[in-house]
Amino acid sequence: MISNITMASLKDKISAFSVKGILLPVFGILVFILLWQVGASRVHTSLGEFPGPVVVYEQWNSLVAEHQNERVKAEKFYVRQEERIAERQAKDPSYAGIIRDYTGKPTFFDQIFTSLYTVLAGFGLASLIAIPLGILIGLNRSVYSALNPVIQVFKPVSPLAWLPLVTMVVSASYVSDDPMFSKSFLTSMFTVTLCCMWPTLINTAVGVAAVEKDLLNVSKVLRLGWVTHVIKIVIPSAIPLMFTGLRLSLGIAWMVLIAAEMLAQNPGLGKFVWDEFQNGSSNSLGRIMVAVLMIGFIGYLLDRVMLAFQRFASWDKTQVLR
């Protein structure tokens, strides 16, 4: 009897979940695609019709095909090299031979990885600066008063304004015969860092400053040392707001990156969009639209990954996180 009831309620729950969790979103997406198709066919540009979902799907397939072709080419390139070296070694055993890297044009998917790599580097650097600084600012009102004006002024600066300055500084200071990183990568990364560190900084500071007074009293009564106080009381208290900041920062980082890559010519998604725009073929708009959707999708995934980290690090597992 009981199991019957629980089975029935379970079924209700599942069906309620599948309506809200699956049917409605699918319906929403279908309506969007329909409106998109209808709307797109009415917009005409010098490069042809605005890309509708069908065109975008075709362009996606062609990008996948290009990527596969490029991989096959690279494969063949390496096989050829090895054969050639083996031939020479057969004649002259002392010949060592060097395998040269394949230098073909990066595909759409290579560019996605470049973008991800760049954004994570920039965001990581920003977090390394912003979290300790935020803790310091939150703990000490004097430091807060001193730094607040600077933070407030730099916070709203657009990445496009920073970029020329960063470019010049990187070109002037990063001079090396055998560079480990390309300048375009460093420029994009630093621009991302400069633009995305503020939410983490501010939220960490607010979280640290908002530690409950009772807990501060506990710390005082126990005469906790500064380090123990920060590790045991301040940081756990600040974790929820810290993660709010980190998620905002990562979102900004991803948005900024695309703009930075366009101008810095870092071979990521930003450069892809820019190159397609400059290229101006009849396929360009469709390919740009693929990139737009991909940028949105990756941004969403990045936020989910951050959310998973937040769930893992948060001590309050009952907290509703979305």
Partner 1 sequence: MTTHLDISHISIEFPTPKGPFKALDNVSLKIKKGEFVSLIGHSGCGKSTVLNIVAGLYDATEGGILLDGREVKGPGPERAVVFQNHSLLPWLTSYQNVELAVKQVFRKTKSKKEMHDWIMHNLELVHMTHAADKRPDEISGGMKQRVGIARALAMEPSVLLMDEPFGALDALTRAHLQDSLMEIQKDLNNTVIMITHDVDEAVLLSDRIVMMTNGPAATVGEILHVDLERPRERLALANDPRYVDYRTQVLTFLYEKQRKVEPIQATAKSKTVAASAKVANA
Report the interface residues with partner 1, using CB under 8 A: 212, 214-215, 217-218, 220-224, 228, 232-233, 236, 315-316, 318
Phi, psi of 225 (to 5 degrees): -70, 165
Q: Which is nearer to partner 1, 112 or 233 (CB)?
A: 233
d(CA 16, CA 13): 5
CB closer to partner 1, 175 vs 226: 226
The nearest distance, CB 223 to partner 1, in angstroms, is 6
Q: Which lies closer to partner 1 via its Cβ, residue 86 or residue 222? A: 222
Whichever of 135 and 253 has its CB closer to partner 1, that residue is: 135
Cα within 13 Å of Cα(103), Cβ side: 2
AA identity, residue 202: I
Least Å distance, CB 241 to partner 1, is 14
Nearest approach, Cβ of residue 146 and partner 1 (Å) = 25
Separation between Cα atoms, residue 134 and residue 209, nearest integer Å: 10
Of 29 and 231, CB closest to partner 1 = 231
Strands (E), the chain: 44-45, 48-49
Indicate the residue among 142 and 315 with the shorter CB distance to partner 1: 315
Residue 318 CB, nearest approach to partner 1 (Å)? 7
Phi-psi map region of 265: left, alpha, beta (phi>0 left; psi -120 to 50 alpha)? left
- Min separation Cβ 315 and partner 1, Å: 3
Give 71-105 as a DSSP string: HHHHHHHHHHHHHHHHHHHHH-TT----PPPP-PP
For 100-138, the three-class secondary structure string (H helix, E strand, C coil) is CCCCCCCCHHHHHHHHHHHHHHHHHHHHHHHHHHHHHHH
Q: Output 14 or 231, the one with its CB closest to partner 1.
A: 231
Give min distance, CB of 228 to partner 1, in A: 8
Q: Which two tokens stand for residue 46?
A: 């010098």
Q: Provide the token pair at 140.
A: 């000490």
For residue 199, the minimal CB distance to partner 1 (Å) is 23
